[in-house]
Amino acid sequence: MRILVTGASGFIGSQFVRAAKSEGHAIAALIAPSKQVSSQDSGSDGIDWIPGTLSECPWEKVAAFQPDTCVHCAWVAIPGVYLESPENFKLVEDSLFFLKRSRQLGVRRIVSLGTCIEYQISRSRLSELHTPVEPRSTYALCKNQLREALEIAAREEGFENCWARVFYPYGPGEHPLRLCSSLIGKLRRDETISLKTPNSTKDYIFIDDLASALMKVVASGFTGSINLGTGQGITVKEIASTIARKLGKQGKIECSTPEIVDPLDYVVAESSLIRGLGWTPSVSLEQGIERLISAVNS
């Protein structure tokens, strides 16, 4: 495949680029103009680095690459900002423009990243086939608007369209304010951590496993919505306790009394569709935390 990747310098996009490259696919990677690409990253490594944005893309370079597939990862994702950022609205508009122009240049398959919090959250696993969609944040609302628009366009124009809902990725390269890296930083500073929602349960997926799942979806020809999650729930307390044990800081974890109610208390994937494509997670929580701690050390 000849894959055009947006958000290629981001947490998910960069790891997907590595996964796709390792499988021998040709990659054109759209990165922010401010992103510096070292000499060893360009030319002979099979990746065409294209500085640009969704709204200001050097289309002549994209046309020269002749992509047949687009994997759309670009979006605002800064912890504490992204959920209600007004940038979400612009990203819907910019994404539709970019993906339409890509189709005009020969892209016939589009795989876009959605989010697990598009779903109506309950105490049940979230199913692509059975769980209602009920976005409650600006981020989830805008993601869902893009999905709906792409589904209509796919029916009218006949291109392959897949919407991959991402659950809770973690691992090397994540933002320092994300849960795992934040906990590591605080414990290394010998801070005592009071967990406000210790029993909040999420589907945490190691970034390498997420990239391999996304690659499996891209290569499979799957169309429609699909969850990128493990199907296994892990509590905040389990995450914190694992990190504390690895750092020898077990006495630094406390639970708030009373606990704060988390509106996203149980967000776990029904994973039968992605597993049906032949994918299974390969990195356990213990292994993932160890690799993240090592990466933060380096």
CATH code at 57?
3.40.50.720
59 plus 148 within the same structural domain: yes
φ/ψ of 207, rounded to 5, equals -60, -35
Mean pLDDT check: name the lowest of 5-19, 37-51, 94-108, 175-189. Answer: 37-51
The pTM score is 0.95
Residue 221 lies in domain: 2-169+204-228
100, pLDDT greater than 80: yes
CATH number of the domain bearing residue 197: 3.90.25.10
Report the pLDDT averaged over residues 94-102: 98
Q: Among the residues of the chain, which ranges form H helices?
A: 11-22, 59-65, 87-104, 138-157, 179-188, 207-220, 236-247, 272-276, 285-297
Report the pLDDT averaged over residues 113-136: 97
Q: What does the pLDDT read at residue 35?
A: 77
Please indicate, yes or no, if residue 273 is contained in any of the structural domains.
no
Report the pLDDT averaged over residues 57-81: 97
Mean pLDDT of the chain: 95
153 plus 16 within the same structural domain: yes
Q: What does the pLDDT read at residue 37?
A: 64
Pairing of strands 234-235, 201-202: antiparallel
Q: Report the number of distinct structural domains present in the chain.
A: 2
Please name which of 224, 247, 243 lies closest in space to residue 234, comparing C-alpha atoms: 243
| 8 Å CB contact between 285 and 171 | no
224 plus 252 within the same structural domain: no
**Alpha-carbon dihedral 46, 52, 58, 59, rounded to 10 degrees:** 80
147 plus 60 within the same structural domain: yes
47 plus 142 within the same structural domain: yes
Query: Crossing angle, helix 236-247 and helix 179-188, to 10 degrees?
Result: 40
261 plus 224 within the same structural domain: no
Q: What does the pLDDT read at residue 43?
A: 43
Which residues, in sequence order, are bridge partners of residue 169?
Answer: 205
Report the pLDDT averaged over residues 193-219: 97
Please indicate, yes or no, if residue 274 is contained in any of the structural domains.
no
Q: What does the pLDDT read at residue 36?
A: 64
Report the pLDDT averaged over residues 199-227: 98
Please indicate, yes or no, if residue 276 is contained in any of the structural domains.
no
41, pLDDT greater than 60: no
